[in-house]
Amino acid sequence: MKLLFVADPLESFKTHKDSTFAMMREAAARGHTLMACEPKDIRWQRGEAVTAFVRDITLTGRPGDGHGGDWFHAAQQAPDERPQPLNGVDAVLMRKDPPFDSEYFYATHLLSQAEREGARVFNRAAALREHPEKLAILEFPQFIGPTLVTRDASDIQRFHAEHGDIICKPLDGMGGAGIFRVGPDGLNLGSITETLNQHGRVTVMVQKYLPEITQGDKRVLIIGGEPIPFALARIPQGSEIRGNMAAGGKGVAQPLNDHDREVARSIGAVLAPRGLMLIGLDIIGRCVTEINVTSPTGFQEVTQQTGFDVAQRFIDVLEGALA
């Protein structure tokens, strides 16, 4: 198969923990052909198919530290990437990290046009648009804790008065960026609200603080509608409230408990048929807090700690979808 990965710059990959790299490594081991580009490399012109300017890559077996390209060899270098119609590859894997900004949104529209022309995109472009990671939980109120989505400061004050200890976060953040906790004393609630909602111009999410975060913010990966048997509990360190790995959290793989398995299967049964082959649920205690669909991570941490090969499962499902 010919696989095109739409991702962040390859030179930025830290291969010891990057899930997209794990996918590439497993695909290459099976003899599949790898190509890569960034969203900015995709274009459409009347009379032509949606095309990406790609690099044909092979893996070298050397590590990448996020500052160079030793881990791969590219047959082309900028500005001489090769034009590749997206309907001329077997699968396009959209793995661009958030934020889900206007440029990401536009990229999904180009990918939708490519799908109309015959391309196969995973996760599907329309499904990415329809399930922004913070807001996708609104469809599943039975699985979430007290949550408010608003741009109104007085509404946030009311929510705080009702629940006492809250988390405020932007809708377009990733890796724990921009997350604030406001305790019962309400200290700095006004300032935090102004920072996040930009004086009422931007919508934010507010959730009741879940003390179970001390046991970890569990990432549950769902592939082809079925959860893998292990969760990655991302445990905050020191005085930090965020378990995100990017914020210094410690990732501890653990067997999936019955509750989380049932929740994951219920959500997977709804979302997988919409074209979401890969989903990353975030669960604190018994509450789903986010549904990640753009570029869910955790493959390598789970595999290294448990021996369960997540990338192998993913490529198995991808091959089955393309058969």
* Same-domain check for residues 15 and 41: yes
| Average pLDDT over every residue of 265-278 | 98
DSSP 30: T
Domain assignment present for residue 321? The answer is: no
Assess whether 197 and 233 both reside in one domain: no
Domain boundary among 157, 190, 209: 209
In the chain, the amino acid numbered 95 is R
Q: Are residues 307 and 275 in the same domain?
A: yes
Put simply, whether the predicted model's pTM sits higher than 0.85 gets the answer yes
Contact 300, 157 (CB under 8 A): no
User: Do 110 and 158 share a domain, yes or no?
Assistant: no
Instruction: Sort 203 into a burial class: Cβ within 10 Å, 0-12 / 13-18 / 19+.
Output: middle
By the 8 A CB rule, do 280 and 316 touch? no
CA distance 125 to 155: 33
The boundaries of the domain holding residue 153 are 146-209
Average pLDDT over residues 7-16: 97
Q: Is residue 323 part of a domain?
A: no
Q: CA 299, 13, 106 angle in degrees (round to 5)?
A: 90
User: pLDDT tier at 242 (50, 70, 90 boundaries)?
Assistant: low
Rounded Cα distance between 220 and 263, Å, is 10
pLDDT at 248 > cutoff 80: no
Residue 264 corresponds to which tokens in the numbers above?
């994951």
> Tell me, what CATH number does 183's domain have?
3.30.1490.20
CA 28 to each of CA 21, 37, 57, 60, 226: distance values in angstroms, whole numbers, following the listed order: 10, 17, 10, 11, 24
Residues 120, 6 share a domain: yes
For 6, the token pair is 């739409």
- Domain shared by 185 and 224, yes or no: no
Chain segment 180-217, per-residue pLDDT in tens: 999 999 999 999 999 999 999 999 999 999 999 999 99
CB-CB neighbours of 302 under 10 Å: 25
| 220 within a domain of the structure (yes/no) | yes
Q: Is 25 within a domain?
A: yes
pLDDT at 245 over 80: no
In this prediction, residue 247 has a pLDDT band, given cuts at 50, 70 and 90, of low
Whole-number pLDDT of residue 80: 96
Reported as a single tens digit per residue, the pLDDT across 42-66 is: 999 999 999 999 999 999 999 999 9
Do 18 and 102 sit in the same domain of this protein? yes
Torsion of CA 223, 225, 228, 232, to 10 degrees: 80
Query: Do residues 225 and 311 share a domain?
Result: yes
**From the CB of residue 1, how many other CB atoms can be counted at a distance below 10 Å?**
15
Reported confidence tier of residue 273, pLDDT bands at 50, 70, 90: very high
Q: What tokens does 305 get?
A: 């700690």
Query: Is the confidence at residue 165, as pLDDT, over 60?
Result: yes
pLDDT of residue 176: 76
Reported as a single tens digit per residue, the pLDDT across 89-144 is: 999 999 999 888 899 999 999 999 999 999 999 999 999 999 998 999 999 999 99
Task: Classify residue 241: in a domain, yes or no.
Answer: yes
Q: Last residue of a domain, which of 164, 184, 209?
A: 209
Instruction: Answer yes or no: is 117 within a domain.
Output: yes
Do 120 and 7 fall into the same domain? Answer: yes
Give residue 158's pLDDT: 98
Helix ranges, the chain (H): 19-29, 102-116, 125-130, 153-163, 189-197, 258-271, 299-306, 310-322
Counted domains in the chain: 3
**pLDDT for position 243:** 59
- Does any domain span residue 141? no
CATH number for position 216? 3.30.470.20
Q: Which residues are catalytic?
A: 134, 169, 219, 234, 242, 282, 290, 292
Query: Do 184 and 294 belong together in one domain?
Result: no
Q: Model confidence over 83-93: pLDDT tens digits?
A: 999 999 999 99
Residue 29 lies in a domain: yes
Backbone angles phi, psi at 236, to 5 degrees: -60, 150
Q: How confident is the model at residue 68 (pLDDT cuts 50, 70, 90)?
A: confident
Question: What percent of the chain shows pLDDT beyond 70?
Answer: 97
Q: Are residues 10 and 113 in the same domain?
A: yes
**CATH code of residue 84:** 3.40.50.20
Q: Both 251 and 279 in a single domain?
A: yes
Q: What is the pLDDT of residue 263?
A: 98
| For residue 257, pLDDT beyond 80 | yes
Q: Which of 67, 90, 124 is the last residue of a domain?
A: 124
What mean pLDDT, rounded, does the chain reach?
95
